Amino acid sequence: MKAKHTLPEPSADAKHHSLQLSEKIQRSLRRHPHMTFAQYMQMALYTPGLGYYASGLPKIGERGDFITAPEVSPIFSRCLANQAIQVLQTLPTPNIIEFGAGQGTMAKDILLELQLQQQPLEHYFIIELSADLRERQQAALKDALPIEWFNKVVWLDALPAQPISAVVLANEVLDAMPFERLRIEPHQALRGYVRFNEETRQFEWDYQKITDKPLQQFANQLIEHLGEVSELGYETEINLNIRPWLQAVSDSLSEGVILLIDYGYTREEYYQPARVMGTLRCHYQHRAHSNPFFYPGLQDITAHVDFTAVAEAAYDSGLKVAGYTTQAHFLMATGLLEMSSDPNAPITEQLKIAQQIKTLTLPNEMGETFKVIALSKQLDLKLMGFKMRDLRHQL
């Protein structure tokens, strides 16, 4: 996505919506003046009814702010289905759990592929924080699936209380979890808090000393890793939510595989000395920029994922890293080319599919920035998705 210099002006209704959320965040700030960036992001994205993901605004697709791989082409989800089937066939009870299912497109295409390949499935659980997205998912799946497959879909507010065997899927979920912002200066490390500027009537950064021990430890390691930092400073992000989330997912699995797909890097690449502005990105009407305070509630806020941190948290949660590769290699190893070549399809359809494949796999599109990591529990299986190229050694 290329950034333009100016962002489009929201409509009067959209501005009103954002103002309501902004006032709510200001009230919260008056009660708790030390609002970390993660707390601000939690409110901006997930405040019921008003947060970006919790409101009725279009988000994903042409009319929204960004596009995700399942919306680019059903081939993405059908490849994931192939990988899921390999695992489901070894599980005592075959279940799928999907986090943050967006518009339900991936669930729909995976379920259709499972039906086509006659793969038995007990349940397809969807854990969705947003009431609005849940409604859209229900409508989309009811429309597209035969009733016996629709009836397998169960929406949950939280993970199942008793451990189950399952394949867990999360596409672009980690990048939407609230993260912390750090600023490294030549002689100190600061944490990004948020304050409201009464003059400009905007939220803004408020960098303060770190008081949290684990965060200070991380900052110390980062300072050592970076070496000399210029007077201009070095800004970056760290996601403290992934660790407890993975622990909870691991606890809810008796056996299975977790497949996480997202844009990100190994720690080495993530915290490169040259990446002085970090990876915080906001998406508004297909423009990418770095101001998380632009009309709260109207735009997505994200950061890239540190996959080394994911791997470490996985080990500490009793999981094994079963594979790590680029999206392009994962898709090629799970049947992308076989699925895309239909010599009997009309030429216009073939061209459309060729374009979709380019978007999913080219290095300067989604192919290399997006990675797939597989985490396994009580399962020793050579996963097909990582047979072409396994980059675990880089983590």
Residues making contact with ligand SAM (CB under 6 A): 53, 60, 68, 70-71, 99-102, 106, 127-130, 133, 171-173, 176-177, 245
**Cβ-based nearer residue to ligand SAM, 3 or 156:** 156
Distance between CA 324 and CA 330 in Å, rounded? Answer: 9
Q: Minimal distance in Å, beta carbon 173 to ligand SAM?
A: 4
Alpha carbon distance 269, 394 (integer Å): 10
Round to whole Å and give the CA distance between 104 and 123.
15
Tell me the closest approach of the beta carbon of residue 146 to ligand SAM, in angstroms. Answer: 23
Least distance to ligand SAM from the beta carbon of 107, Å? Answer: 9
Q: How far is the CB of 37 from ligand SAM (least distance, A)?
A: 16
Contact yes or no for 160/252 (Cβ under 8 A): yes
Q: Which is nearer to ligand SAM, 102 or 192 (CB)?
A: 102
- CA dihedral 142→331→259→136, nearest 10 degrees, is -20
Helix axes 74-88, 347-361, angle to 10 degrees: 70
In the bound complex, which residue of the shown chain has the CB atom lying closest to ligand SAM?
100
Min. distance of Cβ 377 from ligand SAM in angstroms? 19
User: Which residue lies nearer to ligand SAM by CB, 99 or 330?
Assistant: 99
Nearer to ligand SAM, 104 or 256 (CB): 104
CA gap 359, 194 in Å, rounded: 36
Nearer to ligand SAM, 262 or 390 (CB): 262
Closest approach, Cβ 67 to ligand SAM, in A, equals 8
Q: Are 101 and 155 in contact (CB under 8 A)?
A: no
Per DSSP, 199 falls in state T
For residue 336, CA distances in Å to 79, 134, 226, 264, 297 come to: 6, 29, 39, 22, 36
Contact 110, 140 (CB under 8 A): no
For helices 242-251 and 307-316, angle between their N-to-C axes, nearest 10 degrees: 40
CA 283, 75, 91, 156 torsion: positive or negative? positive
Closest to ligand SAM by CB, 153 vs 210, is: 153
State whether residue 97 is helix, strand or coil. Answer: strand
Shortest Cβ distance from residue 168 to ligand SAM (Å)?
11
Token digits for 76? Answer: 């993405």
Cα(266)–Cα(394) distance, integer angstroms: 7
Considering the complex, what minimum distance in angstroms separates the CB of residue 308 from ligand SAM?
20
Specify the residue, 179 or 218, whose C-beta has the smaller distance to ligand SAM: 179
Phi and psi at residue 281, to the nearest 5°: -135, 140
Closer by beta carbon to ligand SAM, 54 or else 190: 54
Q: How far apart are CA 38 and CA 19, in angstroms?
A: 20
Nearer to ligand SAM, 71 or 237 (CB): 71
CB of 265 to ligand SAM, least distance (A): 18
